[in-house]
Structure 1
Amino acid sequence: MTRFEFKPNKKKSGRNQYVGSWEESACKEIDLPFTKESMVTVLTWAIEEGSPYTHQEIAHWCDRFHLSCEEHDNDIAPAIIDVAADVDAQWDMYLSNTYNLEQLQSLKYSEIRLPVEWFKEWLSDVNT
């Protein structure tokens, strides 16, 4: 995934100036069906120490889950789809709010961990 960073343009009020981009390192894909049960499994992995998957891989799976639900008719509860979308959005926001552009261009994304409390809350939302 490529992200772009902008800053206010001092010469032209109301316009942003492009200052650079970053691309996440490749990660393996989680091969699970897009179901509530899989969502519970993935969120549980994010909480556990020694998880078989990184938070990056989990966020990307949630993104694919969310997009799949948007593209196809399914019987997934909207609250679960919202959790999947939120995991992906929070991953992106965490990166851009925690690291500067230079750091983002050289990070090992597989080592980044979101706060575990977030996953516990999402798991609670899925289970209600």
Structure 2
Amino acid sequence: MLEKYGYTPDSLKKVIKLAVIDSISHKDLVDWCENYLQETSKDTSISVNRRLNKKAIMVALDIENQWELYLSNTYTFEELQKLEQKEVKMPKEWLMEWDNSIQ
């Protein structure tokens, strides 16, 4: 489903909004952000516009990092081994803050 969204700041906003309304899992959001970061780091045409994308890149990094912290602070190692990550939801306030912080 998320393949149709190109790796742009506008697409990041759209993907965050999908996570807010539970149209995608928060794990799907994190995976999209990981791909976005990989694409922006290797695409030279994006690096030309890096200043314009800097805020979106920082938000994607924050989403990725907060996901890892949320999992490690919320679940034990044993729980993480059995956990269905697609069922995990970060606080919606975080999603709203990320959405609002992208221009």
Q: Which has the larger radius of gyration?
A: 1
Counterpart Cα distance in 1 of 2:23 and 2:94: 19
Aligned counterpart, 2:10: 37
2:73 to 93, 97, 113: 97
Dislocated runs of 4+, deviation >3 Å:
none
Identity of aligned pairs, percent? Answer: 30
Unmatched runs of 5 consecutive residues or more in structure 2: none
Counterpart Cα distance in 2 of 1:126 and 1:52: 20
Aligned counterpart, 1:46: 19
Counterpart Cα distance in 1 of 2:88 and 2:24: 12
Report the secondary structure of 1:68's partner residue: helix
Counterpart Cα distance in 2 of 1:52 and 1:124: 19
Q: What RMSD over aligned residues (CA atoms) do the two structures have, in Å? A: 1.3
Under a length normalisation based on structure 2, what TM-score does the superposition of the two structures give? 0.87
| 1:68-117: CA deviation from partner (whole Å, max 9, x where unpaired) | 11122212521111101110111111111110110000011111000010
Unmatched runs of 5 consecutive residues or more in structure 1: 1-28
Under a length normalisation based on structure 1, what TM-score does the superposition of the two structures give? 0.71
Report the secondary structure of 2:23's partner residue: coil
2:36 to 65, 75, 78: 65
Report the secondary structure of 1:82's partner residue: helix
Higher helix proportion (structure 1 or 2): 2
Using CA pairs under 8 Å that are at least 6 residues apart, name the structure with larger relative contact order, 1 or 2.
2
Counterpart Cα distance in 1 of 2:36 and 2:27: 14
Count of residues in correspondence between the two structures = 97
Q: How does 1:16-31 map to 2 (within 5 A)?
A: 30-31=2-3
- Pairwise CA distance, 1:42: 0.6
